[in-house]
Amino acid sequence: MSVLARLHEITPERVDLSFLVKPYDGSPLDRQLAHERAYYEWARDGVTYPLIERTFEWLEANRPPEPPAVLNWGDARIGNILFRDFTPVAVLDWEMATVGPPQVDLAWMIFLHAFFQDLAHRFGMEGMPHFMRREDVVATYEELSGTTVGDLSWYEVFAALRFAIVSVRTSTRGIAYGQQERPDDPDDLIMFRDLLRAMVVDGTYWD
């Protein structure tokens, strides 16, 4: 969390981040949404994924007020940090970096852990249910950054959208390589479709 708070001190007002701005019109969030739509159109290769389409609709219908933009790491998670004697010494994996609200990185970090926690449960393992809990992440980040995070629900859905598009693309690759069968329901290629459905269809994800 301290690494993320420090990275978010890098803002467009302090540093020239124009080379990271997505080439679309509008605010930083407009640009990120447009980028994900373009990525989805490429990744789906002519196949429609109803749950992903529903997620785009949910995001458009529930847009939050947009906070000031910072450097977005993009793939913000513990697996992309190198440590020496338990001290972070390097931050890796920057191909998703851009400019946007700090909540984008926070929600990605929380959701990726939720995904792996859900995966652990599906394989009959306990996982780490007390790690990366939303309330702990928010409280720690607010203390370290001196800023207020607010409601992360929209950003968690955005994180799920981004990962869903990655998921269908990697699953489609598996089909092309003969590693898995193509399902009758395209949404089955979303590795965490139940989590995503709980977010944008049932509304039970945050219960």
Q: Which residues are catalytic?
A: 75
What DSSP letter does each residue of 44-105 carry, written as one string? HTT---HHHHHHHHHHHHTPPPPPPPEEE-SS-SGGGEEEETTEEEEE---TT-EEE-HHHH
Output helix, strand, coil percentages for the chain, rounded to the nearest 5.
Answer: 55, 5, 40
Cα torsion through 134, 135, 137, 140, rounded to 10: 170
Distance (Å, whole) CA 170 – CA 47? 14
